[in-house]
Amino acid sequence: MKPNSPAYDGSFKKAYRIETQADARLLCEQVLDAVGEVIVQEWIEGSNDSIYFCLCYLRPGASVAFTGRKGRSWPPQIGVTASCWAAPEVAEELEDLTIRFFRSIGLTNGFASMEFKRDQRDGSFRFVEPTVGRIDGQVEISALCGVNLCHIGYYDAAGQPHPPLMLDPTHVWRDEFRDFISARLLGAGCLYPPSYRIHSAYWRWDDPGPALLETAQAAKETLRRVIWRSGKTEPISTYRKDQPGLRC
């Protein structure tokens, strides 16, 4: 389930992985009571680093795309990107799939992206979710690697040709805290491709604002949970089954 309203965000996690039909029915009823809609997907077998994404800036002529791979997500397997890097080895295949999909539904202009997962059962890539009309949180990895999609969108809106693009895949984008706790839960270390340069998702010496805002929001969320639990009631967002099954 993708959060799409304050009612959902205030009571539920971004996604749930559940095992039984009874658990699925119970959670769906809770979500429907609060939000009015629910999405259930079949679980795609594969490790956390089998998740890929293709970020695009679509144009009627030559669209521009960047393909990346998640190192880890938070929460593992079902959450937001905790670390990622370029995946040029599958770029041709995934960029073709992504651009053809969006063009097939009539989308020819603007930002769009597709998340994939490599199915460990047969090695094929499966669509997980599309995003349309906005950028993804990990879009900075494209700029770090020399394909700045936001910059391209700016030049396009201004009617100017964008500078030449040159892919440098030797960069890692990571949210240090979420990546660390995800690795701990997975029983692994925070491993990245060797000799790659690692960049913080939030902290920059010349622009500390995002890091300060993220810290403040994390503190606010922690305080909210403490207050909620002190009232002797648990938020629905604590419901979780970490077993193979469905994701909704």
* pLDDT(52) > 60: yes
Task: State pTM to two decimals.
Answer: 0.79
Task: Answer yes or no: are the C-beta atoms of 86 and 171 closer than 8 Å.
Answer: yes
- Share above pLDDT 70 across residues of the chain, in percent, rounded to a whole number: 87
* pLDDT(76) > 80: yes
- Break the chain into its structural domains and give their ranges: 17-42+207-247, 48-200
* Strand positions, DSSP E, the chain: 17-18, 41-42, 51-58, 64-74, 80-86, 110-118, 125-132, 171-174, 197-200, 246-247
Exposure letters 112-150 (e unless 16+ CB within 10 A, then b):
bbbbbbbeeeeeebbeeeebeeebbebbbbbbbbebbbe
Task: Answer yes or no: are the C-beta atoms of 181 and 74 closer than 8 Å.
Answer: yes
Q: Residue 235: which pLDDT band, with cuts at 50, 70 and 90? A: very low
CATH class of 48-200: alpha beta
The length of the chain in residues reads: 248
